[in-house]
Amino acid sequence: MTTKSRGINAAAGDIVITRLFNAPRELVFSAWTDAEHLKKWFAPDGCSIHFKHIDVREGGTFHSCISVPNYGDCWCIGTYIEITSPEKIVYSISNADEHGNRAVADDAGKDPDWPLETMVTILFENYEGKTKLILHQNAPEDVAKRTGAYPSWLQMLDNLERELQ
């Protein structure tokens, strides 16, 4: 069974989060595509993000590190697959090492049930003068909740909401 919503084709059990922001769609979209904006909110509470590089365009790549106190660093790499301003962003994301080499979950110190690569789709819709954001990651929601990835998304979206005010 799948969930379909204008550009999202989520399998049952995937991560799907919907959030309403009291900000114009163009501003919310910009917060996802501007590296300076991302540095301010794209990490869970108590954590920080550093980009070794980020090139936000179709075919562009990123190499990021979220530093987690009392745990260490979480390196990721990814590629932007689709960017339709101000409506949609699709990118791949994989665990990596500090040199940008893809790492399986076990080697990266992550749950072995986490997929090697996932796709993240973000939709931005005008909704009654606000922005409705729909986030889909093709990863098992139960694993994401167990590992902290799901609550991390929620915290990051809370951070984004504060950043937009």
pLDDT given for residue 65 in this prediction: 96
pLDDT given for residue 105 in this prediction: 64
The pLDDT > 90 percentage for the chain reads 75
Per-residue pLDDT reduced to its tens digit, 149-158: 899 999 999 9
pLDDT given for residue 54 in this prediction: 97
pLDDT grade, residue 99 (50/70/90)? very high
Q: In 3-state terms, what secondary structure has residue 85?
A: coil
